[in-house]
Amino acid sequence: MSGNVEVLVGTLSDLKQVTTAQQVRDVKGFQDRAKWSWLRLHLGRSVDEEIKRRVELRKAALGEKVSSVVLDELVTWAIHSPVYQRDLQYIVVDGTVKGVATMKHLLVPPEQVLEAAEEIADSQGLLLTEQEGLAGLVSTEKEAAGIQVGFHIYGGDILTRKAISVSSFARTIICTNPLTWAGIGNFERFGLGRTHERVLRIEKITELRPRLERAIAGSREILSKLEELIDRSRRTPVNDREAKAILTAFAKAYGIGLKPIEEVIQRLTVEPKSTFGMAQAASWVARHGETWRATPEGQTGRAKQGMATVGAASLLINDVGVTYARAMEWLRGKFPDKQPDWLTL
């Protein structure tokens, strides 16, 4: 993460001040997502419905600012109400509160995680390298039918929005297109599980190395299963309508914009009519796509990594018909103005 990062421990005096054990610290601002997290930590997840109710009532009058106004009002009310304020960790980036975590949550900088992973890999004779478009490090160990397989270590996000994970990784040898299962939890709504990903939530720094060691060992053990998965996907047919709908839903669920999704749909025309072909199309766009927004300096391309995960998720599809039905159900209402042309053809 770029910028000056600082963690303050204490309570809120107001939306511009954090009271720590030593002093009252001023902050420039408070990101809406962090306000929402703060409210959940004090009032529970039931506050979500109250926020949505207030936003709906006032959006006509307040327009695009409605969410910020509603969140400000609720946080300010809670600060000055009988609600007990607990000590929290406030992650401040360049003076703005961008994340909130409980005292139980260990905030480990991603760099520290990857450094530990490199030391573990080195002791086992493994090589971890950077992969274009992916955050974290990868190791490839075996080759099966034109695909290299290995594992991918993602160091997490100090803002607590992305957990540390060790997952399977695959790469098409001919054009080095990446597939990663990091973040596969985004697809559980479509019936796909975390089969090839281990999410590590670390509460004590002493847990980091042994947990990483076990996760790396576990990922290496399933490399033969990955070979079977790839072989099965080559033999799993899918028609155009199914492929377009499933890939649109997967990418939309990952927050990817319509232009990169359209590139994937276009790429489908030159790939096999199988779930493997779907994976290849998404993987190709993850590497070669031309419509990605420029990545801000000092940040990694999360959107590209998301598309690489969309490709990997395609290989997990067991029953195309069931996944297609779930995708269509989930897509209902996601495009209120106009559905993409490829979903109506």
Element (H, E) at 172: strand 164-172
Contact (CB, 8 A) for 220 and 170: no
Q: What is the pLDDT, as a whole number, of residue 299? A: 44
Q: In terms of C-beta density within 10 A (0-12 exposed, 13-18 middle, 19 or more buried), how is residue 104 classed? A: exposed
Closest C-alpha to 42, from 16, 81, 68, 8: 81
Contact (CB, 8 A) for 310 and 267: no
Phi/psi for 153 (5° steps) reads -110, 120
Contact (CB, 8 A) for 281 and 240: no
- Give 203-253 as a DSSP string: SSGGGHHHHHHHHHHHHHHTHHHHHHHHHHHHT-B--HHHHHHHHHHHHHH
**Token duo for residue 58:** 């006032």
Q: What is the pLDDT, as a whole number, of residue 289? A: 81
Q: In terms of C-beta density within 10 A (0-12 exposed, 13-18 middle, 19 or more buried), how is residue 318 classed? A: exposed
Q: What is the pLDDT, as a whole number, of residue 303? A: 66
Q: In what order do the strands lie in the sheet with 24-26?
A: 24-26, 17-20, 5-14, 88-93, 96-101, 29-30
Q: What is the pLDDT, as a whole number, of residue 294? A: 55
Q: Domain limits of the chain?
A: 5-101, 107-345
Give CA–CA dist 11/86, Å, rounded. 7
- pLDDT tens digits in sequence order for the chain, 345 residues long: 455 778 888 999 889 999 998 889 999 989 998 999 999 999 988 999 999 999 988 888 888 888 999 999 999 999 988 777 888 888 888 889 988 888 777 677 788 888 888 988 888 888 898 887 788 899 888 776 678 888 899 887 766 556 788 888 888 777 778 888 888 888 888 988 888 888 877 767 777 888 888 888 888 888 888 888 888 999 999 999 999 999 999 999 888 888 899 999 999 999 999 999 999 999 999 888 887 665 544 444 566 888 999 999 999 999 999 999 999 999 988 887 788 889 876
Helix runs in the chain, H state only: 32-43, 47-62, 66-79, 110-123, 208-221, 223-234, 240-253, 258-267, 275-288, 302-314, 320-331, 341-344
pTM over 0.85: no
